[in-house]
Amino acid sequence: MSQLFYDAAPNATRVSPEREADRHYPEKPEAVTLFGTCVVDLFFPEAGLDAIRLLEREGVRVHFPQEQSCCGQPAWTSGYRDEAKAVARAQLDILDQSGLPVVVPSGSCGGMFRHHYPALFADEPDTLKRVEALAERTFELTEFLLEVCRVQLADRGAPSKIALHTSCSARREMNTHLHARELLQQLEAVERVDHDHESECCGFGGTFSVRMPEVSGAMVKDKTRSLIDSGAVEMVTADGGCLMNINGSLEKQKESFRGRHLASFLWERTNGDNAGEVA
């Protein structure tokens, strides 16, 4: 069905707000906490490890509290507020132990901390204060690298053409949809190509993908089609949920095209040891 769409306006949905100027970014801290996220934890752990390596290379010590689990988003978006709140409280307690800035390699979990925790705890003034402080010190990986570490990446990989998928939460909750682009721009041999309807949702939406598999499946099929047709050799994204959705769909369709986490891509391109493996 998707080929029918190709006479449509290619980027009509690029309606995102311009990059927010007023978020205050602190000086580079000595140490941060990495909140790995449950999807990265179980399905893309190497992306989490690469995020740690990228941060360490910038001279930032990384803490990974072993008590962390999930941000609570699946229950929250399913309407199970109490269950979401209990899990959120557990993460809040863990992240408050050190009080360090929190770096998250996923826009949607970052959005959960920054935007949905305050809604969850709106009725608990004392907890709300802690939640607001957490929101203030939570950063998506790409914005932390770019705005706080002011990273300068030296590309050591072979020329490559890639497509970038930005999650809706990065785009609309975290306002970090342009940070990944800027990071990729630093890589000399990497060409980023636009794909059709780039700013449109990949169809994951957490439990939406299993509650409405018909609609979600149509969305991810369109997304994978436009990624493949973009001429890129691979896709990168800074969101574990989208990655699981897009790669799972590609594999089901027996396509060879794949996506990977931006952290892994950046680390491989810029790390001397592995540079030869890229291309």
Map the footprint of other proteins across residues 70-89, applying CB under 8 A. 70, 72, 74-81, 83, 86-87, 89
Smallest distance, Å, CB 223 to other proteins? 9
* CA angle in degrees (0–180, nearest 5) for 220-259-231: 85
Pick the closer one to other proteins by CB: 162 or 168: 168
Interface map 39-58 toward other proteins (x if CB under 8 A): -xxxxxxx-xx--x---x--
Tokens at residue 109, please? Answer: 């979990």
Residue selected from 26, 99, 159, 213 as contacting other proteins according to rule CB under 8 A:
213
Q: Which of residues 2-31 bind other proteins (CB under 8 A)?
A: 4-5, 7-9, 12-18
Spatial strand order of the sheet with 259-261 comes to: 190-193, 160-165, 234-237, 259-261
Residue selected from 25, 26, 96, 98 as contacting other proteins according to rule CB under 8 A:
98
Residue selected from 136, 191, 193, 248 as contacting other proteins according to rule CB under 8 A:
248
Comparing CA positions, the residue from 6, 54, 15 lying closest to residue 230 is 6
DSSP summary character for residue 16: P
Q: Give every CB contact of residue 29 below 8 A, 6+ residues apart in sequence.
A: 60, 100, 101, 148
For other proteins (CB under 8 A), the number of binding residues is 87
Residue selected from 28, 57, 221, 258 as contacting other proteins according to rule CB under 8 A:
221
Q: Which of residues 153-212 bind other proteins (CB under 8 A)?
A: 168-169, 171-173, 200-201, 203-212
Q: Cα separations (Å) of 5 from 1, 8, 88, 116, 225?
A: 8, 5, 41, 35, 10
Smallest distance, Å, CB 279 to other proteins? 24
Smallest distance, Å, CB 221 to other proteins? 8
Strands 234-237 and 160-165: parallel
Q: Kindly state whether residue 59 participates in binding other proteins, applying the rule CB under 8 A.
A: no
Residue selected from 149, 220, 262, 278 as contacting other proteins according to rule CB under 8 A:
220
Smallest distance, Å, CB 36 to other proteins? 4
Q: What's the CA gap between 206 and 214, in Å, rounded?
A: 14
Residue selected from 20, 25, 99, 119 as contacting other proteins according to rule CB under 8 A:
119
Tokens at residue 240, please? Answer: 């574990």
Give the count of alpha carbons within 13 A of 140, CB side only: 31
Smallest distance, Å, CB 63 to other proteins? 5
Comparing CA positions, the residue from 51, 109, 46 lying closest to residue 241 is 109
